[in-house]
Amino acid sequence: MKLIVTGSAGFIGMHTALSLLDHGHEVVGIDNLNSYYDVDLKRRRLEILQSEPGFRFIMLDIVDANALDECLRRERPATVVHLAAQAGVRHSLENPMAYVSSNLVGFGSILEACRRSQVGHLVFASSSSVYGNNARLPFSEHDPADHPLSLYAATKRSNELMAHSYAHLYSLPSTGLRFFTVYGPWGRPDMAPILFAHAIANGTPIRVFNRGNHRRDFTYVDDVVAGVVAVALGKPVAGQAQAARPDDPATGSAPFRLYNIGNGNPVRLMDFLSLLESSLGKKALLQMVDVQPGDVLETWSDCSDLQRDFGYHPHVSLEEGMEKFAAWFRDYYSV
């Protein structure tokens, strides 16, 4: 089967493409290699993919609707796994228009290109940040998610609503995946694990927001990718959820579903830091600061739907995952 993976030079994109290739599928990767973070890291990921048979790369910006449409018409993929986006909660406070462009305009281009090319299934990345400070824990896809705390979260919730409308209007099978704090080798350098690891290695202070009282559902990248690939190789069926309540945001009569992909085990940020210190063999210098605007205080995934429908079960403990991440970090950054 031929699949297009957007954001293929990204963290989750690279791992997803590799897994699909390992399953024997043909993968066409799309990325614009923007400079939001270290382009050399993206190129290194891409080099790994380009060494694999069955992979081809197309340099393309999803905001360019005409180029994207031409690409999908030419390639005729069975499935599009859309992982390209402007990521990062905190950066959305500094450069909001980048999120409007990539996550809203770009996602509109994806929907239109998939509709015109009659793609069999659109799988797209959403985020646990859509839940905001939802008081009900663990977070369930069947609960409302109408009060995002950041523009990034708002764009991801908007993607879900946009995809549902296309599923309803044009019978475009669409599945949104709400990722929970993904970490592991080849991760983004703007995310906490690498920021913290660099600070520990260099002996510089770490600003610990909310004085370390955040709790996060840290999910190892291999577990996340297992869920993405399982969903990408299936697709939702129209009318499958007619027995559900009509206002259920995760289901409905259209060929549309939402799933959480997490570990289901929230961890205090201070415990995460302690494991990172142990894995790197060095203590961190901590600077306790107040909570930052846009931050969610706690994330906790209920993945029972994904487990029921696709047999999803995370296998990598935080201890094991941190050791794997630290080993890669030391090798890649020559620490």
What residues act catalytically? 152
As beta bridge partners, residue 205 has 285
The token pair that represents 177 in the structure block: 């995946």
| 150 CB-near residues (< 8 Å, 6+ apart) | 89, 92, 93, 129, 293, 294
Whether residue 227 contacts residue 233, with contact meaning beta carbons closer than 8 Å, is answered with no
Within 10 A of 108 (CB to CB), how many other CB atoms are there?
17
Whether residue 263 contacts residue 219, with contact meaning beta carbons closer than 8 Å, is answered with yes
| 293 CB-near residues (< 8 Å, 6+ apart) | 93, 149, 150
As beta bridge partners, residue 207 has 287
How far out from the chain centre does Cα 90 lie?
Answer: 16
